[in-house]
Structures are given as structure tokens and as C-alpha cells.
Amino acid sequence: MVTTTSFNTTKSEEIFTAAQKLMPGGVSSPVRAFKSVGGQPIVFDRVQGAYAWDVDGNKYIDYVGTWGPAICGHAHPEVIKALQEALVKGTSFGAPCVLENVLAEMVIEAVPSIDMVRFVNSGTEACMSVLRLMRAFTGREKVIKFEGCYHGHADMFLVKAGSGVATLGLPDSPGVPKSTTQATLTAPYNDLEAVKALFTENPDSIAGVILEPVVGNSGFVPPDAGFLEGLRELTQEYGALLVFDEVMTGFRIAYGGAQAKFGITPDLTTLGKVIGGGLPVGAYGGRADIMAMVAPAGPMYQAGTLSGNPLAMTAGIKTLELLKKPGAYEQLDRITKKLAGGMLKVAQEAGHDVVGGQISAMFGMFFSNSPVHNYDDAKKSDLQKFSRFHRGMLESGIYLAPSQFEAGFTSLAHTEKDIEQTLAAAKEVLSRI
């Protein structure tokens, strides 16, 4: 275990200092800058299996897994081998390729709601496209999302968390026109009454409801009993669409996603992360009659130069093949139960108020003395203590997501020994923060 005194991050600091002169905040995506937890981010040099090494040679057990894609472990030898074979045939065709058929068949066979699928290059692209499709299919403009759910950075999703149910969406970022977000309505997660009120007030103008079926972007927040079923009924009652954003939960909560785990079938689904196996892939899919709207089959336009490229398809195919093997999800659930349960136990034994849990290979913990059902609850947890915990674990060789408002991810590569080492580090850190 790395002790605090021997934790040398000189090279990380040099590289990150230089990066800040080259790229806004020194990063290609904001959360990586550690703003939420403070301190210098770690510059990775390489990853393998459950581990990451930084440029100073420190080794970490990694529970971010590049934000979800590394569910089979980083740089899985079978994925790497498949990529090497694909590489020699070229990285992108810009033309139909049989590998798109292969991955599409796997996704359609796995995900209950998906009859047809369109590949794109990120979760953001998948979510912005599915929003356009919801509106195109229903001819309605308004969409309901939930405070604390993240669906990528497309303008219409960057809405200030609405206080109360009637608030029309106000932009939550400069550069987003009011006209773009005013049709985005928000409600607190797990609050069916708030959604009912929105439908009552907008009976014929809501195209649909989009949500994370298990929230990862407020920290780990599972759906309350009856919430998903209630949304399914409400959307059917009002002729609106139900859309599961499974960019994070897809092929992580279960091989068929949260919709398979909970037995609730939405009309449309977005995917990303895992289905690209670490290369840029997103996707949206759903009922055949809805997907028939998508160009060139139908009039709704969406396109992409690198969509469905053979390299990304290859990584996705191999990753899903590995996940489809018998016992994969039982292993993920077992290892993550041990981790999440153990973390809560050592925190309670150290006298901390904590709540949290796991579903399959997704977990989270809040320093809070009351349950967390939505983003407001999450914001009331002890964020300063989380920052101290994060830093202490980092210096102990455990790489957790650098924000309380993120979920943790395990992989098929995490071993019992890794979990025991993580819990030992947590016990020591929690005794002194």
C-alpha cells in the first residue's frame, strides 16, 4: 500500500501544469480536473485489468474504469487482439461494414426495448438524437428530465434544476439559448407526483420522459419501488414515450441493462460506454415503428462520419462476447456486493453516517445520516468529508471517481484480493478523516 509520505506525484503535477496552458482546465472532460474533490489530478500512464499506473509509477486499483467502458478490465487481451486484427484492415470505412450488423444483432438480442439500433460516437450524441426522435415521432416538443440525471452536454439537457414542477427549463450553462431549454421540464428523481403534475399541466405537449433508470450522475441513486413502473404507466396514459438513458447502466446492471433487471420496457433506449469497449461508440434504439423515422429510412436526420467504424465495432463486439459468458454478472454482483457492503461497514465502525449500496457492477456511498432518493438529498451529504475520503484513498492507491456526484464501477478483473486491499485502505482512511 502507498503511504502518504511516499506518495510522489511530481510528474503528474508537471504534466498537468503544462496541460492547463494548452486545454481549458487542462483536461478533455471537466470531471477529470478533480475540481469537485480538490487537489491535483493524477496523470495516467497506462491501464491493465483492474489497475492504473500514473506517470510517477504509482499503482491504483481503479473503480472508475474510464467511466464505465472497462467492465471487462482495462486493455483486455482478447479485446486488444481483436483490435490488432481489425486495425490492419483499416480504422474507418465510411461505408457499410458487416461488423455493424454483428454488434447491432447483439444489442437487439440483448436489450428488450430495441428492435432497431443506430450507432453514433458518444452518449451525448445518442441522447441528443433520441430527443429529436421523441419529438419527431410524437409531433410534440416538451420533454421531462430529472434533476441530477445527466444525458450528455447537448443544449436542451443543460437545464437548471427546476425548483417546483411548473418551472420551464432555464439554461444551466452560458451559451445555451433560453429557447432551447424552455421545452425541457424537470422534476425530482423518484417523485412520481411531480411527473403527474407536469403531465396534468401539459396534457398533450409532452413528447416523453427520459431518465437514468439507475442514477449514476447524482452519485449512486437507485429507483424507488414503483417509480419506473409508474413512469411506464403515466407515459402510456398520456401518449408520451418512455426513454431509458442506459449509457451508464447498459450491459452493466445486467446484460440487457436496467430494463432487463427491473422488467420495465421503455420505448427507446440510449447506450454508450460498455458497447464501445473503450472506443467511441454510442447508440440509440427502440421500437421498430419509431426507429423507422430515422434517416434515410425516414425523415428525421442524424448522421456521423465515424459512426459504426470497424475498430469501435470490434471492441464493442468482443466486450459483449466476454460479458455474455455464463457467470459474468454473478461475478460482478458478488465482488461489488463485497466492496459496497464492506465500505459501508468500515465507515459505520469508524463512526461515520453513511448510506449507499450497489446494483451489479455499479455502487456508491454518501456521507449522510438520511437516505438519498434524489439530487437534492445527495447535495445535502457531507461533500467535504467525501473530498477527504477521496484524497486519502488516492494516496493509498485506490482510484475512486473524483466527485460525490458520480457512481463507482467494478469489472470482471477486480479480484477478492483487490477488494480486501480496498477495504483495508478505507478502514485506515476513515479512521482519520
Among 170-178, 201-209, 242-250, 352-360, the segment contacting ligand KE4 (CB under 6 A) = 242-250
Number of residues that this document lists for the chain: 433
Q: Which of 376, 370, 426, 427 is nearest to 405 (CA)?
A: 376
Give residues 260-319 in contact with ligand KE4 (rule: CB under 6 A). Answer: 272, 282
Give residues 49-68 in contact with ligand KE4 (rule: CB under 6 A). Answer: 67
Residue showing the smallest CB distance to ligand KE4 in the complex = 123
Q: Which is nearer to ligand KE4, 247 or 430 (CB)?
A: 247
Whole-number Å distance between alpha carbons of 12 and 45? 10
Q: Which of 124, 96, 98 is nearest to 302 (CA)?
A: 124
Q: Quick one: which of 54, 100, 245, 377 contacts ligand KE4 (CB under 6 A)?
A: 245
Q: To which H or E segment does residue 341 belong? A: helix 328-349
Selected catalytic residue, list 54, 62, 191, 245: 245
What is the separation, in whole angstroms, between the first and last Cα of the chain? 18
Mask of contacts with ligand KE4, 141-160, x by CB under 6 A? Answer: ---------xxx--------
Contact criterion met (CB below 8 Å) for 104 and 97: no
For the bound state, the minimum distance from the C-beta of residue 157 to ligand KE4, rounded and expressed in Å, comes to: 9
404 binds ligand KE4 (CB under 6 A): no
Question: How far is residue 321 CA from its own chain's centroid?
Answer: 21
Q: Which is nearer to ligand KE4, 308 or 346 (CB)?
A: 308
Contact criterion met (CB below 8 Å) for 208 and 242: yes
6 binds ligand KE4 (CB under 6 A): no
Quick check: is 245 catalytic?
yes
Query: Residue 396: which residues within 8 A CB-CB, separation 6 or more?
Result: 1, 2, 3, 425, 428, 429
Q: Which is nearer to ligand KE4, 260 or 423 (CB)?
A: 260
399 binds ligand KE4 (CB under 6 A): no
222 binds ligand KE4 (CB under 6 A): no
Contact criterion met (CB below 8 Å) for 374 and 221: yes
For the bound state, the minimum distance from the C-beta of residue 303 to ligand KE4, rounded and expressed in Å, comes to: 17
251 binds ligand KE4 (CB under 6 A): no
Locate the DSSP E strands across 169-328. Answer: 184-188, 206-211, 241-245, 268-271, 282-286
Quick check: is 150 catalytic?
yes
Q: Which is nearer to ligand KE4, 104 or 248 (CB)?
A: 248
181 binds ligand KE4 (CB under 6 A): no
The conformation of residue 250, written as its DSSP 8-state character, comes to B
Among 123-131, 138-146, 181-189, 372-380, the segment contacting ligand KE4 (CB under 6 A) = 123-131
For the bound state, the minimum distance from the C-beta of residue 245 to ligand KE4, rounded and expressed in Å, comes to: 5
Q: Which of 182, 201, 181 is nearest to 193 (CA)?
A: 201
Quick check: is 273 catalytic?
yes
Q: Starting at the earlier edge strand, list the strands of the sheet with 408-409.
A: 355-359, 362-366, 408-409
179 binds ligand KE4 (CB under 6 A): no
Q: Starting at the earlier edge strand, list the strands of the sheet with 184-188.
A: 116-120, 282-286, 268-271, 241-245, 206-211, 142-147, 184-188
- Tell me, by CB under 6 A, how many residues bind ligand KE4: 19
Q: Which residues are catalytic?
A: 150, 245, 273
Residues binding ligand KE4 (CB under 6 A): 29, 31, 67, 122-124, 127, 150-152, 212, 216-217, 245, 247-248, 272, 282, 406
